[in-house]
Structure 1
Amino acid sequence: ERDHPGDSMTSLAFSYRLGLTTVSNSVHMVCATVVKLMMPRFLPIPSEETWKEVTKGFWDKWNFPNCLGAIDGKHVMIQAPPLSGSQYFNYKKTFSIVLLAVVDADYRFRIIQVGDYRRTS
C-alpha cells in the first residue's frame, strides 16, 4: 500500500474507504500520541545548561556572540475550523496556522510552536 504524504483528510478517507470523521479523529489521535510520547525524549524543554551550550555553539561555529538560536516561521495552510470566522485568515488571503521554530548552530530544532494564527511575535 502506498503512502499518502501531504494528502487531505478527504483524500485519505476516500483512499481507505473510511468516514471523514474517522480519518480526522485518527490523525489527531496519532499526532497527539506522538507528541506526548516522543517530545520529552527528542525535543525536551531546554535547560539553562542547554542554552549555554547553544550560545557557545553559535560563537564557536559562526563567531556570533550571545545567540540563543535562529528563528523562523511559516504559515501552514489549513481548512478553517468551524465558527472561527476570520481568525485563521492571513495576509496571503488563505487560512493558516503558524509554525515557529528555533534551531541551534547545528540546525537542530530546540523549540517548536505550532497552532497560533495570524502573525506571531
Structure 2
Amino acid sequence: MRKAITPNERLLATLRYLATGSTLEDLKFSCHIAPQTLGKIIRDTSEAIFKAQRNFCKCPTTEEDRENIAGELEHRWNFPNCIEAVDGKHVATVLPPGSRSYIYNYKNFHSQVLLGIADANY
C-alpha cells in the first residue's frame, strides 16, 4: 500500500498551484504527485481553506462592493482596476523529519511560502 499524502504536502501543492498558475502536468514534477490526484487534492484543500476562513475573510459579493474597493485602492494607493493585493515571502524553516527536499527552495534554504492578501485598508 502507498504512503498517504500528508496535509503539509496537500497544502504545499495547492498553494503552489494557486501561486504559479502552473498546469497539473507541470506541477506533478515539483510535487511528485500524479495530475489526477493533484486535481482532487487542490479542489478539496481549496474548499477546506475557504470553509475555515469564511468568517475571517470577506469577499466582495456584489459589483458595487468590488467597485468601492477598486476605487479605494486607486485613490489611496494609485492602483487602478485592482481589487486586492497579493504578496508572498519565503519563511525559513527547519527541515521536518521525512520531508526530504519538498521544502527546499531556489534560494538554497528550507522554507514555507507565506502568502498574504489585502485590500486598501490592509
User: Shorter-chain TM-score: which interval?
Assistant: 0.3 to 0.5
More helix by share: 2
TM-score of the aligned structures, taking structure 2 as reference length: 0.46
TM-score of the aligned structures, taking structure 1 as reference length: 0.46
More strand by share: 1
